[in-house]
Amino acid sequence: MKTKIRSWFIALGCCLMLIAFSDRAFSQPANSLAIRYTGNNYIHTFGSDDLSLKNIYQQSTGAGVEFAYYRRIMDHLLLGIPFKYNEINYPEGLGFKSEQSTINLDALLQYQFCRYGSWINPYVHAGVGANYITAPEEFGFGFPVGVGLNIKMFPDFYLSAQTQYRFSTNDRDGWQHGIGFHFFLGGEGDGDMGISGDSDGDGVFDALDSCPDIPGPASNRGCPELTQEDMDKVELAISMVQFETAKSVLLPQSFPVLDNIVDIMKRYPYYSLKISGHTDNVGDDTSNLALSKERAKACFDYLASKGVFPGRMTHDGYGEAKPRATNNNDEGRALNRRVEFELSVN
């Protein structure tokens, strides 16, 4: 038995080391605790082959309490260390004391299907653990698998219900049900980073969220992404914004295209705009560079005149330094004479 106990603590130590070194920053809290009232129904193999629900639920029952610590190791994956103490009542005549105490100490992985902050978050879990049973005194291993559901009641505070089937090496297979609370530490943030708050519930901390009041993906700094239709309008402007030959005077057919950019900037107030002017290689390098800067400035001035705040825009010209196509034919040179519009989150 000492060898078994030693093996278990080595395995538990490895799990604790994993917790200690899982210090990467997540857009969700890293640490949480749970406490649950537990109900237990053990399928015993002593004295009866009756595995009916009546036999299981009326004869081999008990209750207890669970305390669990969880550490987030991936966005949807938690490593849990639950400790359970239960009192079990077995039927008389089995050759051992009918009232027993059991202690379980486990290490398990919990996969949550939704991100932190969701009102309802179902999960599944599985792991390995140790069983200690009194009267007669026994030690064994358990392999818990189960499902659960967290329901948000307050920020960082969830009603937690779960059911688990526990496979055991010492004839103590059975169900363990639990209901209680799961709460996250350090507020809606990661205490290791000194960051807190997620006003829009998108899983990105306010301190890292460029749009703290509007939900959006973490890949876009917490801001909504442009629709495909709007991205197409921005791309179309590259070829449709036209100027008088060798000048920075916008042609009238450019105005509707630029008006689309104005509309996008007004609907996405958390985006900034970079305007870049480019030319082909016909003419003097210095003149081309100056012309590209003037054309970018002309677009900047038009957008500002239509109500786009100048502080949200920048403009520059690159002359012939960044061609999109070859300058060896008319088609390529036409593609290289352009103004580009690049939107990005502030």
Task: Read off the amino acid at residue 279.
Answer: T
Query: Could you tell me what percent of the chain has a pLDDT over 70?
Result: 78
* Long-range contact set of residues 240-249: C-beta below 8 Å, sequence gap at least 24: 241/299, 241/338, 241/339, 243/295, 243/298, 246/283, 246/291, 247/291, 248/291, 248/294, 248/295, 248/297, 248/298, 249/298
The answer to whether residue 303 scores a pLDDT higher than 60 is yes
Task: Report the pLDDT averaged over residues 148-160.
Answer: 91
* Cα–Cα dist 299/306, whole Å: 11
Tell me the pLDDT of the chain averaged across its residues.
82
Which pLDDT score is estimated for 76? 87
Task: Report the pLDDT averaged over residues 109-128.
Answer: 90
Lowest-confidence pick of 39-43, 93-97, 341-345? 93-97
| Higher per-residue pLDDT: 219 or 164 | 164
Lowest-confidence pick of 166-170, 270-274, 336-340? 166-170
Q: What pTM was estimated for this model as a whole?
A: 0.46
Which pLDDT score is estimated for 334? 92
pLDDT band for position 191 (50/70/90)? Answer: very low
Which pLDDT score is estimated for 302? 97
What domains, with CATH codes, occur in the chain?
2-194 (2.40.160.20), 228-345 (3.30.1330.60)
Task: Report the pLDDT averaged over residues 275-280.
Answer: 96
| Higher per-residue pLDDT: 208 or 51 | 208
Which pLDDT score is estimated for 146? 95
Which pLDDT score is estimated for 311? 93
The answer to whether residue 292 scores a pLDDT higher than 90 is yes
Which pLDDT score is estimated for 342? 95
